């Protein structure tokens, strides 16, 4: 029944997007920027770390409908078995599935690409619906690309015993500029502001006050900013290096730095390899406490809001399996990332030591462009 309901919801989203496509296809226009290429991806993904295992399939199909309109549809599933430290010290391990459906429409007009997308995500105790609009414009002889975007999301928050009891709303505003600097070098800047309102925690999670477990109490609003700069350059024939840095800050007083560096190269005509190193560090939220020693209005022991660092090392490999130039290309991909999380102020109450764990992220997928 759940699958039928999911399909119905997907069909309804598809019908709405097709209606919109029909409307804008009727509008005339001059020569436009290139639409994203026709493409299909089928992926199996996995995450294993800290007692949590999440696996599932994902599918993305993108196809040009008419010469200036492209449509995409995706499905993403997370089958989660959770025996994390929170769960094993407070409750019983559980399994649940999250299904996400999304459809999008891209319309190319002159030097601009307008993208409209909507998604819906369902878990037994959480529902999220989002609509986003993105516009990217090429300018300065095609050397500069400016993109702006907005997402509005509405969530329903539930509890397995109480049903849906609260809501959360999210607004995301983003701006990006990509600049070609030389024939072998480009850079980009992205800025994003996010505002949240509503129930922003977990009804299952407990905080510790004077050693006693109490339900966590989070503020009902949060506002954040993030700035990211990236640059990528060709260092030798068909080899590139890239560097990225992101600074993040919010009204919960979390500050974070993310640094990533990567290297990519071809091996012959059929292989493409990537390797990267990622470092992330953050300071705790104002109301985060491992074990609070004062009664405060807000208190949380969500380690996602604590002080920690993580280091990840990743590799990706793509193999071109079949290629008929001008007609289609089929590639096989694999990706693996191993990361280490070290928490400064989250105690593993089973051992009394600061908590740390290793995690693996895995992807295998087939992509076809046609």
Q: Which of residues 137-196 bind another protein (CB under 8 A)?
A: 140-143, 149, 151, 153, 155, 157, 170, 172, 174, 176, 178, 180-184, 186, 188, 190-194
Contact between 240 and another protein (CB under 8 A)? yes
**Rounded to 5 degrees, what are φ and ψ at 8?**
-60, -45
What distance, in Å, lies between the first and last C-alpha atoms of the chain?
34
* CB contact at 8 A, 139 and 171: no
CB of 193 within 8 A of CB of 275?
no
Stretch binding another protein (CB under 8 A), from 13-21, 43-51, 206-214, 347-355: 43-51
Check the CA dihedral 348-352-353-354 and report its sign.
positive
- Cα dist from 277 to 222, 262, 342, whole Å: 30, 6, 16
If one asks whether residue 254 binds another protein (CB under 8 A), the answer comes out as yes
Structure tokens at 306: 């604590």
CB of 146 to another protein, least distance (A): 13
Burial code (b: 16+ CB inside 10 Å, e: under 16) for 80-111 equals bebeebbbeeeeeeeeeebbbbbbbbbbbbee
Judged by CB under 8 A, the residue of 33, 83, 275, 335 near another protein is 335
Could you tell me which stretch among 15-23, 133-141, 289-297, 321-329 binds another protein (CB under 8 A)? 133-141
Q: In whole angstroms, how close is the CB of 368 to another protein at the nearest point? A: 12
- In the numeric block, the tokens 């590139």 are attached to 240
**239, 263 contact by CB (below 8 A):** yes
Which residue of 98, 208, 323, 340 would you call a contact of another protein, by CB under 8 A? 98
Interface with another protein (CB under 8 A), residue from 13, 17, 102, 299: 102
Identify which range of 13-21, 22-30, 210-218, 251-259 contacts another protein by CB under 8 A: 251-259
Does position 338 interact with another protein (CB under 8 A)? The reply is: no
Can you tell me which residue has the tokens 């800050």? 249
* Angle formed at CA 46 by CA 283 and CA 369, multiple of 5 degrees: 110
Question: Is residue 107 at the binding interface for another protein, with CB under 8 A as the rule?
Answer: no
Residue 68 found at the interface with another protein (CB under 8 A): no
Size of the site for another protein (CB under 8 A): 91
Residue range at the interface with another protein (CB under 8 A); choices 2-10, 14-22, 71-79, 289-297: 71-79
Return all residues near 47 (Cβ < 8 A) that are at least 6 apart: 53, 54, 55, 359, 360, 361, 362
| Residue numbers 272-331 binding another protein by CB under 8 A | 272, 280, 282, 285, 304-305, 310, 316, 318
Helices (H), the chain: 2-25, 85-90
Q: In the complex, what is the shortest distance from the CB of residue 58 to another protein, in angstroms, rounded to a whole number?
A: 6
Residues between 7 and 36 that touch another protein (CB under 8 A)? none
Segment (H or E) for 155: strand 144-159
For another protein, the closer CB: 184 or 210: 184
Q: Does 117 bind another protein (CB under 8 A)?
A: yes
CB of 12 to another protein, least distance (A): 18
- Mask 214-233, x = binds another protein (CB under 8 A)? ----------xxxxx-x-x-
Binding segment for another protein (CB under 8 A), chosen from 2-10, 13-21, 100-108, 208-216, is 100-108
Instruction: Decide if 56 contacts 78 (C-beta within 8 A).
Output: yes
Instruction: Please report, for residues 31, 112, 281, the alpha-carbon distance to residue 142 in angstroms, rounded to integers and kept in the order given.
Output: 14, 11, 36
Find the part of the chain contacting another protein (CB under 8 A) among 12-20, 21-29, 95-103, 289-297.
Answer: 95-103
| From 53, 208, 242, 338, residue interacting with another protein (rule: CB under 8 A) | 242
């Amino acid at each position: 029944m759940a699958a039928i309901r999911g399909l119905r919801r997907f069909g309804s989203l598809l019908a709405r997007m097709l209606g919109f496509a029909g409307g804008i296809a009727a509008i005339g226009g001059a020569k436009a920027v290139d639409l994203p290429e026709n493409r299909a991806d089928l992926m199996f993904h996995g995450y294993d770390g800290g007692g949590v295992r999440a696996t599932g399939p994902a599918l993305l199909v993108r196809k040009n409908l008419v010469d200036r309109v492209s449509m995409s549809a995706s499905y993403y599933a997370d089958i989660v078995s959770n025996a994390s430290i929170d769960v094993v010290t407070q409750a019983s391990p559980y399994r649940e599935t999250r299904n996400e459906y999304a459809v999008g429409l891209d319309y190319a007009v002159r030097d601009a690409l307008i993208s409209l997308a909507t998604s819906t995500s369902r878990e037994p105790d959480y529902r999220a619906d989002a609509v986003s609009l993105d516009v990217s414009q090429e300018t300065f002889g095609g050397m500069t690309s400016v993109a702006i975007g907005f997402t509005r999301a509405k969530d329903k928050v539930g509890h397995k015993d109480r049903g849906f009891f609260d809501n959360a709303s999210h607004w995301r505003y983003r701006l990006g500029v990509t600049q070609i600097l030389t024939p072998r070098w480009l850079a980009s800047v992205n800025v994003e502001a996010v505002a949240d309102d509503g129930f922003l925690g977990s009804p299952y999670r407990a905080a510790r006050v004077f050693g006693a477990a109490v339900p966590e109490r989070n503020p009902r609003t949060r506002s954040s900013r993030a700035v990211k700069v990236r640059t990528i350059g060709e260092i030798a024939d068909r080899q590139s290096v890239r560097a990225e840095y992101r600074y993040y800050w919010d009204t919960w007083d979390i500050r974070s730095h993310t640094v990533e560096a990567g290297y990519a190269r071809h091996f012959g005509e059929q292989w493409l390899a990537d390797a990267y190193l990622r470092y992330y560090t953050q300071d705790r939220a104002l109301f985060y406490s491992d074990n609070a020693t004062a009664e405060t209005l807000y208190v949380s022991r969500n380690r996602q809001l604590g002080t920690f660092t993580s280091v990840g090392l990743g590799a990706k490999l793509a193999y071109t399996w079949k290629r008929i130039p001008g007609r289609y290309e089929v590639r096989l991909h694999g990706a693996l990332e191993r990361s280490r999380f070290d928490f400064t102020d989250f105690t593993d109450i089973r051992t009394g030591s600061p908590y740390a764990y290793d995690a693996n992220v895995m992807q295998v997928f087939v992509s076809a462009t046609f």
